[in-house]
Amino acid sequence: MTDWHKIIGGVTAPRGYRAAGITAGLKPSGLPDLALIVSDVEAIAAGVFTTSQVKAACVDYCRQQLRTKHSARAILCNAGQANAATGTQGWVDALESTMAVAQALNIPSESMLLASTGVIGQRIPMDKLKAGIPKLVAALSETGSDAAAGAIITTDLVTKSIALETALGDRPVRIGGIAKGSGMIHPNMATMLAFVTCDAAISPTLWQQMLSRAADKSFNSITVDGDTSTNDSLIALANGQSRTPAITEMGAEAEKLEAMLTAVCQHLAKAIARDGEGATCLIEVQVTGAHDELSARQIAKTIAGSSLVKSAIFGRDPNWGRIAAAAGRAGVPFEQESLQIKLGDFLMLDHGQPLTFDRAAASAYLKQAAMGAYLEEDTVLISVSVGNGHGSGKAWGCDLSYDYVKINAEYTT
- Radius of gyration over every alpha carbon of the chain, rounded to an integer in angstroms: 21
Q: Which amino acid is at 126?
A: M
Residue 292 CB contacts under 8 Å (≥ 6 apart), including other chains:
389, 390, 391
Complete DSSP assignment for 155-191 = S-SS-EEEEEEEEETTEEEEEEEEEE-SSS--SS---
Q: Which amino acid is at 226?
A: G
Distance, in Å, from the CA atom of 82 to the CA atom of 311, rounded to the nearest integer, reads: 29
Distance, in Å, from the CA atom of 240 to the CA atom of 16, rounded to the nearest integer, reads: 9
- Catalytic position from the list 50, 98, 154, 191: 191
Distance, in Å, from the CA atom of 173 to the CA atom of 14, rounded to the nearest integer, reads: 7
Q: Which amino acid is at 220?
A: N
Distance, in Å, from the CA atom of 163 to the CA atom of 370, rounded to the nearest integer, reads: 27
Q: Mapping DSSP to helix (H, G, I), strand (E, B) and coil, where does residue 148 land?
A: helix
Instruction: Judge whether 55 and 91 are in contact, CB under 8 Å.
Output: no
Instruction: Judge whether 23 and 182 are in contact, CB under 8 Å.
Output: no
Name the DSSP letter for residue 222: B
- Please say if 191 is a catalytic residue: yes
Beta-strand pair 233-238/71-81: unpaired
Buried b (16+ CB within 10 A) or exposed e, 378-391: bbbebbbbbbebeb
Residues designated as active site: 191
